[in-house]
């Protein structure tokens, strides 16, 4: 399996890092690295995460890998690729997630 980040996912990851680094630089690095490590696990276990119910009925089946109970890595599997489409802060309104995909 090959990992691909959409531009939106890359921006989300960068935004999370930038926000956290302003609060605590070490925590920002730790969380950023943990998110990346969890995403890399998907190469071996692409169906590790459950289907995301708030995105049901879309053209693609989206899955959500929860990291630290605070972030969801939203991804889809297509052929031999895993597309990371967003990294979602679970403290946001879930209705916004529905509009974004």
The domain segmentation of the chain, as residue ranges, is: 2-100
Quick one: pLDDT at residue 93? 60
pLDDT digits (tens, 9 = 90+) for 21-59: 999 999 999 999 999 999 999 999 999 999 999 888 888
Residue 1 · residue 40 · CB < 8 Å: no
pTM here is 0.87
Tell me the percentage of the chain whose pLDDT exceeds 70: 91
Euclidean distance between CA atoms 11 and 64, whole angstroms = 18
Superfamily of domain 2-100: RelE-like (3.30.2310.20)
């Amino acid at each position: 399996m090959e990992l691909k980040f959409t531009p939106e996912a890359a921006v989300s990851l960068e935004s999370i890092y930038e926000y956290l680094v302003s609060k605590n630089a070490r925590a920002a690095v730790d969380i950023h690295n943990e998110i990346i490590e969890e995403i890399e696990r998907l190469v071996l276990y692409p169906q590790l995460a459950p289907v995301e119910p708030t995105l049901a009925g879309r053209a693609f089946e989206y899955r959500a890998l929860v990291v630290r109970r605070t972030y969801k890595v939203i991804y889809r599997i297509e052929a031999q690729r895993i597309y990371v489409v967003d990294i979602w802060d679970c403290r946001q309104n879930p209705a916004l997630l529905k509009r974004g995909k």
